[in-house]
Amino acid sequence: MNKALRRPVIAGNWKMNQTPAEAKALIEQMKPLVADADCDVVLCVPYVDLQAAMEAAEGSNIRIGAENCHWAQKGAFTGEVSAEMLKAMGVPYVIIGHSERRQYFGETDETVQKRVRAALDAGLTVILCVGEYLQQREQGITEEVVRLQTKIALGGVSAEELKRIIIAYEPVWAIGTGKTATAEQANEVNHAIRVCVGELYGKEAADALVVQYGGSMNAGNAKELLAQPDVDGGLIGGASLKAADFSVIVGAAS
Ligand code: PEP
């Protein structure tokens, strides 16, 4: 499975951080630092920051994404934002199934599947998050968990649509905790995801699939993680709020 077939994607996930003015300032800081990146650079930001972020990133190599979207096109869903609305704004990326959505907001594999469907229908590129809890890792069922999450999320996704899916393997125990999976652990699960996708869509599709690692990736550990044969980039939380750290990670992927 040839890593050279895939262009790495480094995506920031700002979570519930940054006002629109702060978003603009941070992107202005980042732009010159990542201008020479030989990878795709994406920043996923809170809905209220999208407009400011898109304006700040215009003309640069930074692409903007949202952190979630609803599955309905519109309707009585107070507080939600649809994929169609993101499309109308010109937002190209969206994170779906982040473990914080699964943990705190009742996200299930079934709702992840519905959101993926809506995002693809709207023409967006999806960063689909999967990952196990610590207890599941200790039980030795990591691969089963991640394979099931992947299969359900991809239910109904065509081979053509798969080209607009990036999968982020994010062990829940490593997110925001400072605990990183070892490079070997990350590669092992990323590889299992690629094998799973290969079973569903064939080798060519699996070879082309970008599988990121996420979970306390930072300026110090990015190089080793990104050097793994099945790690094609990263989904970065905390370190994406610091321009210097984020640019080191982008540099490590380039
Ligand atoms: C994330 O939010 O997807 C993430 C990986 O966070 P952190 O890098 O802070 O662990």
pLDDT for 1:
60
Q: Whose CA is nearest to atom 4 of ligand 1?
A: 237
Instruction: Note the pLDDT tens digit of each residue in 8-42.
Output: 999 999 999 999 999 999 999 999 999 999 999 99
Q: What angle do CA 232, 196, 179 make, to 5 degrees?
A: 50
Is the pLDDT at 57 greater than 80, yes or no?
yes
Is 98 part of the annotated catalytic residue set?
yes
Distance of CA 109 to the CA centre of its chain: 16
User: Can you give the residue ranges of every domain in the chain?
Assistant: 3-253
Other beta carbons within 10 Å of 205: 17
Tens digits of per-residue pLDDT, 74-130? 999 999 999 999 999 999 999 999 999 999 999 999 999 999 999 999 999 999 999
**Ligand 1 atom with minimal separation from the 170 CA:** 5
pLDDT recorded at residue 58 = 98
pLDDT tens, 128-150?
A: 999 999 999 999 999 999 999 99
Average pLDDT over the chain, rounded to an integer: 97
Report field, pTM of the whole predicted structure over 0.95: yes
Give the separation between CA 34 and CA 234, rounded to whole angstroms.
Answer: 15
- In SS3 terms, the chain reads as CCHHHCCCEEEEECCCCCCHHHHHHHHHHHHHHHCCCCCEEEEECCHHHHHHHHHHHCCCCEEEEECCCECCCCCCCCCCCEHHHHHHHCCCEEEECCHHHHHHCCCCHHHHHHHHHHHHHCCCEEEEEECCCHHHHHHCCHHHHHHHHHHHHCCCCCHHHHCCEEEEECCHHHCCCCCCCCHHHHHHHHHHHHHHHHHHHCHHHHHHCEEEEECCCCCCCHHHHHCCCCCCEEEECHHHHCHHHHHHHHHHHC
Tell me if residue 84 is catalytic.
no
Tell me the best of 45, 217, 248 to mutate to test the pocket of ligand 1, counting ligand atoms within 8 Å of each CB and taking the most.
217
Q: Distance, CA 130 to ligand 1 centroid (Å)?
A: 12
Q: Give the pLDDT of residue 237.
A: 98
Question: Which residues surround ligand 1 with Cβ inside 6 Å?
Answer: 13, 15, 170, 175-176, 214-217, 235-239
Residue 176 predicted with pLDDT over 90? no
- Give 3-253's CATH code, choosing from 1.10.287.110, 3.20.20.70, 3.30.460.10, 3.30.390.50: 3.20.20.70
Largest Cα span, the chain? 48
